[in-house]
Amino acid sequence: MKQGSIGCLRVAALLISASYGIGFLFGSGELALRIGMAGSLYAVATALGMTVLAFIAPRLWRDGRAIWDVLGEAFGPAVHRSVALLSFVWMTGVLAAQIQGGVAVLGLLGAPGPIAYSAMLALVVLASGIELKWASTAFACLLVGSNLVLFDVIFRAGSVGLYLHAPLIFAHDIRQLPPADTLTTVLAVGFLVVTGADYQQFIFVARRSVDAWFGCLLAASFLLLTGFAPAAAVIATGVVPGSFRTVDAKAIVPLILTHAATPLGAIAQASVLLVLLGAALGSGSAITRAMTAALMSQLNGSAFRLSTGRRLIFTTSTGLLAALIAMRGQAIVDTMVALNIVYIASVGVMLIRHALGFHTTRSQAQTTMAVGFLVALLMYVVSSTLTPLPAYAPLIAGLGVSCLVAAFADLARRCV
């Protein structure tokens, strides 16, 4: 895309395409089985983040700089590289979510767990080496089409009133969740929408600042209108006694979609599952290629280069790490939120200090980010392997220790 070449409708479409994936669709349905309409929290948080992005879009459009460019210009090339490489953390969470979705679909196709994970890993690695730009657009359209099928399910179940009252039901059901957990999810999702380069890239290529602003608002409106559909469809279908009680929660949305295709026969049902598998594969390979591109951009000028063999090793290692994260058994949304938090704990303090105009040395910036990352990552590992911790614990710990390190450095500099 040429800089300054697209209008507000194209900006909105691209932002929606980047937002509306397997995590959005499958994750919302999975949570709806447990917490009702509050399962739409990921969708609502994404829409809120998009709204905030709209307000800063004109400034982003004028500056044309991603988060690592902003911090890199302020604190040097080492920080630039660190922030770019830290983006691997949250991207790994997104890749894990796509693998979880693909495994859920393979499970419905009859593949046992270990085989499903191995097959999904192999498919992501293979697809990441193919140029799938056209396919990614097609998969995004198919996901939107799946959303239309969910609306049809809601209509056929006589639950249009349920969908129309979804915001009010959401406001009621969200009270089931501890406020700290809700706030953590909103922050973790919203922060990545506002600061993520995968979203900001579409702001930079808008024709005018007003196109960037209005495109964000259109995307936020679309995501909010459609975001309640997965949970509403799950609730509407679940009123049938005994429906879907023995099914993996991650597979509830694909199962609903295949049931909607039942009148068209077994081939249509299998086709729906293959389309959803392809969508998960397309999203997974896209994020894997983005991770590879980010690594290569940071190796510019280095003696090390990603040859075909090294690229394959890197892609396989990344996919394997994401698969291991996916196998933890966390909910799809929780998987993404947990790694978003590690990223936020790493860069959050320095981003705030820069925005407030605090004087910070390059070494202080690097140390602050490194400590935040290590503390948050350690707590994530502890929560994954030893004892479950609240979702907000790594965030508070990482940001808290980072603040202390930065404050101590400020004090030491004044005393010298």
Q: Which of 44-53, 80-89, 293-302 has the highest mean pLDDT?
A: 44-53
Dihedral sign, Cα of residue 300, residue 305, residue 307, residue 313: negative
| Of 145, 75, 155, the residue nearest 350 (C-alpha) | 75
Which domains are present in the chain?
Answer: 8-331 (1.20.1730.10)
pLDDT digits (tens, 9 = 90+) for 127-173: 776 655 555 566 667 667 777 888 888 888 888 899 999 999 999 99
Answer yes or no: is pLDDT of 269 > 90: no
- Measured CA to CA, the distance from residue 234 to residue 396 in angstroms comes to 34
Residue 16 C-alpha from the chain's centroid = 12
Q: What are phi and psi of 6, to 5 degrees?
A: -125, 150
CA distances from 286 to 65, 151, 318 (A): 22, 28, 13
> Which band of pLDDT confidence, cut at 50, 70 and 90, is reported for residue 214?
very high
pLDDT digits (tens, 9 = 90+) for 180-198: 999 999 999 999 898 887 7
**Residue whose entry in the numeric block shows the structure tokens 């196998």:** 327
| Of 53, 69, 345, the residue nearest 188 (C-alpha) | 345
The pTM score is 0.87
* Secondary structure of residue 388 in the 3-state scheme: coil
Q: What is the dihedral of CA 296, 298, 304, 306, to 10 degrees?
A: -10
* Secondary structure of residue 206 in the 3-state scheme: strand
Answer yes or no: is pLDDT of 332 > 70: yes
> Which band of pLDDT confidence, cut at 50, 70 and 90, is reported for residue 297?
low
Mean pLDDT computed over 349-367 = 86
Mean pLDDT computed over 80-107 = 86
pLDDT digits (tens, 9 = 90+) for 35-65: 889 999 999 999 999 999 999 999 888 887 7
